[in-house]
Structure 1
């Protein structure tokens, strides 16, 4: 009797367990997939066998998440029974890429603009200490690094007016305007751990993103809601490089939080080029109901980096590692501490109408001893961005309407002192600054038929700045001075024709408006250039896209006519100043080809992916005469005519991988007269490693080399430099290596 009871209890308990049989296969080839990780109820793990099969014995119903490298993760719920699951491989096809450019989520084939997408896979092809190499793979995009952590972003040549920092490019981070209202962007405050994906809109995009001829960059770093995870990584390399990261992802109800801390240090290739940066990020995503979602972000960044300064050709020949004379003695450097706090709210009025609003606050403490002076700034800013989206119909055809606005206000106490051996001396001038900008935007996307999409966008922009000089050369206040730019209406008109399921053509006409930044008006020598006019541009563009599963092709041509172009020059004291240069003609071609020679193969070599990106920039000064010099017809300063990037990615079945990148950059004119050029160069980078999943752990060991050919080049030059100090020598051949470890729990 006792044995019968025990048998009954065993049978009864086994009946409570779900009898679930799952077979997992490839979505395209339908072949079974081995070693797929199944995380059941976010706790217990299972692996598929050689036939792609697995039996799950857990209490029914169960929630299962499927993971396999090279495939998209999938979440499904099961009762008892037999199930067939197909995993989709991570696609290189344009037809499978969705972007949110112009505040409208659409497949890239339906976007009527030039948009480049930078993913984690792009970042992970390199050393992950900066965004430079990943962005520079993309046609029409170039990030220069004059010294470690000193970036200039060029979208279609827009770094012309950026002697330092990022200007004329609007940057957003998790839907927060990361570009200050004065038009500058401290991109170096972010670590790559704070960026999981980026979308680059190339050319004037004022209909949605306001003032700016260069374009817009949207950076995203959302919490991972599919798993609870702890991850850590460490990297070391030449020139005293070290980087440590710790991250945590935790589900909270239907939402989640994510935290990360990164510390990065290096001594630098050149004398006086060390970097020390710590970044903490805390983000949250909380669905309140089916109608509402809340997003939060906290970013704390502490950055210190030294500025070695530019050299002339003779100094580079003598010793490219040396700093500019005076840089060390005066401790030429930047120390910057920033806190950014944002709150986002999404409200769905119905299935067709929603509102997305983000507000933010930020503080900034900035110290900049330089050879000639010592600059201190203490700033506070706030702003918001809101948009309403409605999906309706017009004439029986679908119509999407987007309306919204953005406003930013910045207040800064700015003081310039003398610099005595790296210590702030007597105050030279002191200002209370206010910068503000805002705009309203409207956009309509109308499907004229199943293949033709018409887009009309408008924005109304206003901006200005105020300089209240408290102390000048006479040691007295001079009163409030201001400059207000008249409201400017910026239109954008575009058509996209979907030729078939995998190809499309588009054409667009858009205008841009870019007022001078406060740093271009208020110089380090104390002068105020209120006569500096805003740049105005008109862009004409056509493009063709072909996106199949193993082959992508994109070809874009454009013509940008820019009036009142802002250029730089340096006076005898080494102070960078700005002036309007008449007009410029900027004609360009961008071509991208991606091809999967092998993709998810069953052999030892699983993937072989090839890629090429070509940028042709044929930019000229149209009308540019200053005093006795006439530079009309010259090549635009700081812009290479040709740039070609080639990539090879290889992945094996046992976890070994190789990433190889070659970049050719054509010679670059360094002054408006076109009498000095940086010679062309070939840059080769390579990374190789091993990735493996061991139970609940993810392990990656990697190593790599930058500048494999040991080229002598400058990744960021000083333009129109006084005393011929044009060059900022970049590192020679250097190695790095590291390890990553993650735990899914």
Structure 2
């Protein structure tokens, strides 16, 4: 009998094995190429599983199973017909549904939760928003976000204001922390070279508004999380070109390959422009290599290499009379921009490596390291600067999931460190040529912090978050030569600062949540504020400190057609840093007491049609509105002409418009035609701390029309044309605040046009 049983097993087991098929694969977001966690993979015969934190799955199915159903809330389900064999791999991309806010995952505050479960003012800019225009810069995309304004004083000369943070930014990005692929992009000296990136290199952007120092270190303005563009599933070759007004032309080429275990994108872009104004040409070349490897269900390794070769000219600010007479002219006079060849020549390479490792179901770690090399050749109106920078740094965070009784808890703790060395030399500028040496400095910047955060999922759908960080910054300046003062060594070591944050979120329904938070932050002066471009040492400048109180509600209703996100806040900033130009156009910085900043930020979206079977299959209207009631407190200046102190307490905050409004319309059809339109209104805003000069309000509009078609599932074609500033407004996008000689204005282009074509071919 035993022999018969053994013989039966020997005969039946191979048959049973032959009747089983092992299906493995991955599930990714078709727009962002990020893994879809927790997707349900099921068969018509009842077998099912969920995707891992890396979007992977494995499922053994019987021979009678005919199809797989892959589904996840917030995505359109996908069905795959099974081709039976011993082992089959299916890699799937799910298309996100429109406006399904609860399932939009965010990285903000290291929570990695759905947006509806994250307490804080967070705005998301996906690749669809970035590509609504000509992708010449991120300005138009960022300016769709309430509470955030991005300026472009000259091509590739950017400023970002989050709730009024450009007060201390005559140029460049300060008081806002930037990360790329989870790795610091803001340097140890407090500045951020966003212009080394091309808009086409960005896959998505998260903007966290207000102090976020508890998790992201120093900064009272906010944090911007940039994610690199990732490869689409399969093998793809892509080329494209765009041309436009004022000699604008852009060329791009990309090759990518993505499978279950890897995702590699290589992209090159070259953008050129003659510029709207005199002395405003641009030439930028960017190479992005963005690989990602899914080593196992426990380990993911991502990295990036960004090489940037950037040249852009600086037309300079002009007066109101010059602005009205001819907005295309550059700054003239003895130190005119054309005469002095005011421009920036910058070559840089940024390399980062990040590993995510899950030790157990409860323990995980993310560690990132990076290095940066940059060279600048910068003739300015009043001097000539040559700098070389070298920097390295890293960030590591651990996450532990546990429970206190029935209360699920998540603990996150870690730290970040950066060290940078800059060799900075300034010379006389002899009509665009290097003159006599003025100063020679070695500047060392060190900054770092440690942080801890705890999240508690309380009864009645409350989520409580508490966080704390300890931050430290130090600058060391070694002056090798200065014509007037000679050699010296100076060290500025700021006191370590504790920055707490506490937030509470209440899930009101499955579709709506409310949140409240109290947070504090600090922002030390940047190296350029301590050591100004004329070589002066601003040794007494102190760091800003502020506290923020916030209340918001977000969600969707009307059968998911209407989305809304409303936040009100009150921010009190002490030792606020402001800038003012002197006679030689050098920015001088000082602490002025405090500011009171109250505001409301609103984002609304309504989808009228979202039906792939309809002739018009998508019609969506969206808008964002910002109200800002920002005032100086405890601020006095000495007015030499009147020989007395002037009290500016109660004045409006310089450079902040009380009202801004952006709205857009997106339409797509079954005939592969699409249309995007955007309008933007900015209220009049003060250009001086005294509130004696204002920039006029302006209203501009832009539109893009295109044809997007996939042919034979291999060739994707996109032909488009569009226009910006259809209202032909004369306005300034990036005013110079408190400018000497009343040179406040940096005029933006008048009505201009663009058009282009993009081709991508998928290789099987």
In the other structure, the counterpart of 2:196 is: 189
Rounded to whole Å, the distance in 2 between the matches of 1:496 and 1:615 is 23
In the other structure, the counterpart of 1:652 is: 669
* Structure 1 residue 646 displacement after superposition: 1.1
In the other structure, the counterpart of 2:404 is: 394
Rounded to whole Å, the distance in 2 between the matches of 1:87 and 1:534 is 46
Rounded to whole Å, the distance in 2 between the matches of 1:561 and 1:616 is 16
* Structure 1 residue 63 displacement after superposition: 11
Q: Is 1:481 the counterpart of 2:471 in the alignment?
A: no
Q: Where does structure 2 lack aligned partners over 5 or more consecutive residues?
A: 1-17, 22-62, 86-91, 639-644
Q: Is 1:529 the counterpart of 2:538 in the alignment?
A: yes
Instruction: Please tell me whether the aligned partners of residues 111 and 118 of structure 2 are also in contact (alpha carbons under 8 angstroms).
Output: no
Rounded to whole Å, the distance in 2 between the matches of 1:242 and 1:63 is 47
One of 358, 367, 375 as aligned partner of 1:357: 367
One of 460, 473, 485 as aligned partner of 2:470: 460
* Structure 1 residue 75 displacement after superposition: 8.1
Q: Is 1:693 the counterpart of 2:703 in the alignment?
A: no
* Structure 1 residue 394 displacement after superposition: 1.2
Distance 1:346 1:96, change over 3 A: closer
Instruction: Please tell me whether the aligned partners of residues 60 and 78 of structure 1 are also in contact (alpha carbons under 8 angstroms).
Output: no
Q: Is 1:427 the counterpart of 2:434 in the alignment?
A: no
Q: Is 1:507 the counterpart of 2:516 in the alignment?
A: yes
Taking structure 2 as the reference length, what is the TM-score of the superposition?
Answer: 0.87
One of 294, 301, 312 as aligned partner of 1:305: 312
Rounded to whole Å, the distance in 2 between the matches of 1:332 and 1:187 is 20
Instruction: Please tell me whether the aligned partners of residues 338 and 363 of structure 1 are also in contact (alpha carbons under 8 angstroms).
Output: yes
In the other structure, the counterpart of 1:232 is: 239
SS for the counterpart of 1:634 is coil
SS for the counterpart of 1:109 is helix
Rounded to whole Å, the distance in 1 between the matches of 2:104 and 2:293 is 26
1:184-230 per-residue CA deviation (whole Å, 9 max, x = no partner) reads: 00111100121010000000001100000000000001532622111
In the other structure, the counterpart of 1:682 is: 699
Measured on the aligned residues, the alpha-carbon RMSD in Å equals 2.4
In the other structure, the counterpart of 1:21 is: none
Instruction: Please tell me whether the aligned partners of residues 670 and 719 of structure 1 are also in contact (alpha carbons under 8 angstroms).
Output: yes
Q: Is 1:331 the counterpart of 2:348 in the alignment?
A: no
In the other structure, the counterpart of 1:519 is: 528
Q: Is 1:554 the counterpart of 2:568 in the alignment?
A: no
* Structure 1 residue 71 displacement after superposition: 7.2
Rounded to whole Å, the distance in 1 between the matches of 2:229 and 2:660 is 33
TM alignment of 1:52-63, pairs within 5 A: none
Rounded to whole Å, the distance in 1 between the matches of 2:652 and 2:257 is 53
* Structure 1 residue 395 displacement after superposition: 2.4
Taking structure 1 as the reference length, what is the TM-score of the superposition?
Answer: 0.89
Instruction: Please tell me whether the aligned partners of residues 407 and 437 of structure 1 are also in contact (alpha carbons under 8 angstroms).
Output: yes
In the other structure, the counterpart of 2:632 is: 621
Q: Is 1:102 the counterpart of 2:109 in the alignment?
A: yes
One of 430, 446, 465 as aligned partner of 1:436: 446
Rounded to whole Å, the distance in 2 between the matches of 1:645 and 1:520 is 33
Number of residue-to-residue matches in the alignment: 686
SS for the counterpart of 1:520 is helix
Distance 1:599 1:677, change over 3 A: same
In the other structure, the counterpart of 2:4 is: none
SS for the counterpart of 2:189 is coil
In the other structure, the counterpart of 1:384 is: 394
* Structure 1 residue 61 displacement after superposition: 11
1:239-266 per-residue CA deviation (whole Å, 9 max, x = no partner) reads: 0000011011113661121100000000
Rounded to whole Å, the distance in 2 between the matches of 1:490 and 1:359 is 24
In the other structure, the counterpart of 2:731 is: 713
Q: Is 1:367 the counterpart of 2:339 in the alignment?
A: no
* Structure 1 residue 290 displacement after superposition: 2.5
Rounded to whole Å, the distance in 2 between the matches of 1:184 and 1:380 is 14
Q: Where does structure 1 lack aligned partners over 5 or more consecutive residues?
A: 1-14, 19-58
SS for the counterpart of 2:483 is coil
In the other structure, the counterpart of 2:741 is: 723
Deviates more, 1:544-553 or 1:711-720: 544-553
Distance 1:723 1:62, change over 3 A: farther
* Structure 1 residue 291 displacement after superposition: 2.1
Instruction: Please tell me whether the aligned partners of residues 233 and 246 of structure 1 are also in contact (alpha carbons under 8 angstroms).
Output: yes
SS for the counterpart of 1:122 is helix
Rounded to whole Å, the distance in 1 between the matches of 2:70 and 2:276 is 44
1:390-449 per-residue CA deviation (whole Å, 9 max, x = no partner) reads: 111012210000001000000010001000111111110110000110000100000112
Instruction: Please tell me whether the aligned partners of residues 225 and 255 of structure 1 are also in contact (alpha carbons under 8 angstroms).
Output: no
